[in-house]
Amino acid sequence: MRLLWAFGVILFSFQQAFAGTEPVIVVNSKEVRPQNQTSATLSCNFTNPVSPVTGHHWEKNGKTIENTKKDGADHYTEYIISKIETNSGKYSCVFHSDPQAKEFIEVKSLPHIVAHKHSENANENDKAMLVCECHSYPLATDWSWRKVTDLGDEDAYIVNGTERYSIKSTPNNSTLIIMDLNNEDAGNYECTGKNELGQAEDIIHLRVRSRLAALWPFLGIVAEVIVLVAIIFIYEKRRKPDEINDDDDSGSAPLKSNSATNHKDKNVRQRNSN
């Protein structure tokens, strides 16, 4: 018991010693969640730097936030987030000293789930790929998909690897693949992403074109060609009799034939006379 107490005292004094001299960045909050407030102020107070501070800046997800770079020996800096819901991420303040000092503040929000495309078209017998993405911090730890029916029943959740369905999920996104599509697959699909703060969803509308519908453009061209050929054919067919009629109608034709027969007659006569 005595030993334990002595150990505690030593540990406590060590902590005190370090707290007094070690460079440390004190943040107003390690973690920010949207509760009653929609905006948040992040602050960092750099105490006991080992070398002079020449400036500081803020980063979000490892990337420098524009217009946050400031020169000067300030040991204190603030960054205001206007809307936590759409600006969640892993933030950090960075003090320019030797070595650089950095401290993280996690700004967390409900998942922000967005369909990659809100409307998908696919052909019967083909496969459809529906993709939802998570654009928030923390990313989604859990995904689920269901087909939205008018009944709104809870049993419509799609299980991975059943029938023609498969689901591939990463914290970033989730893909629902439906194989061998048929007409009944058309409809609205809801993806739900969950993180430690809660869940959110989005909806994708799937249209399934019948095989025949997929052929329509081709059939259209074929029909066009057939009509064109028919028109040309009929035109040609009509033109020939017209030309013959033209010859028949001309007044010179009978004359010609007359003269021809006359000549013939002459020849015949001549032959006869010989």
Ligand X SMILES: *[C@@H]1O[C@H](CO)[C@@H](O)[C@H](O)[C@H]1NC(C)=O
Residues at the contact surface with ligand X, assessed by CB under 6 A: 35-36, 45, 47, 76, 131, 139, 160-161, 166-173, 175
Strands annotated E in the chain: 24-27, 31-32, 40-47, 55-60, 63-64, 70-71, 76-81, 89-96, 101-107, 113-115, 119-123, 128-134, 142-148, 165-169, 173-178, 187-195, 198-209
Residue number, 47 or 123, with CB nearest to ligand X: 47
CB-based contact 194:134 (threshold 8 Å): no
Q: On the CB side of 266, how many CA atoms lie within 13 Å of its CA?
A: 6
Residue number, 76 or 124, with CB nearest to ligand X: 76
Q: On the CB side of 244, how many CA atoms lie within 13 Å of its CA?
A: 5
Q: Least distance to ligand X from the beta carbon of 180, Å?
A: 17
Q: Least distance to ligand X from the beta carbon of 15, Å?
A: 15
| DSSP string of 18-85, one letter each residue | HHHHS-EEEES-SEE--SS-S-EEEEEEEES-SS---EEEEEETTEEPTT--EES--SEEEEEES-GG
Residue number, 45 or 123, with CB nearest to ligand X: 45
Q: Least distance to ligand X from the beta carbon of 150, Å?
A: 27
Q: Least distance to ligand X from the beta carbon of 116, Å?
A: 7
Cis check for the bond before 99: say yes or no (omega within 30 of 0). yes
The two tokens of residue 244 are: 């013959």
Residue number, 24 or 65, with CB nearest to ligand X: 24
Q: Least distance to ligand X from the beta carbon of 214, Å?
A: 24
Which of helix, strand or coil describes residue 117?
A: coil
Q: Least distance to ligand X from the beta carbon of 184, Å?
A: 22
CB-based contact 105:91 (threshold 8 Å): yes
Residue number, 114 or 214, with CB nearest to ligand X: 114
Residue number, 114 or 139, with CB nearest to ligand X: 139
Q: Least distance to ligand X from the beta carbon of 194, Å?
A: 13
Q: In residues, how long is the chain? A: 274
Residue number, 92 or 175, with CB nearest to ligand X: 175
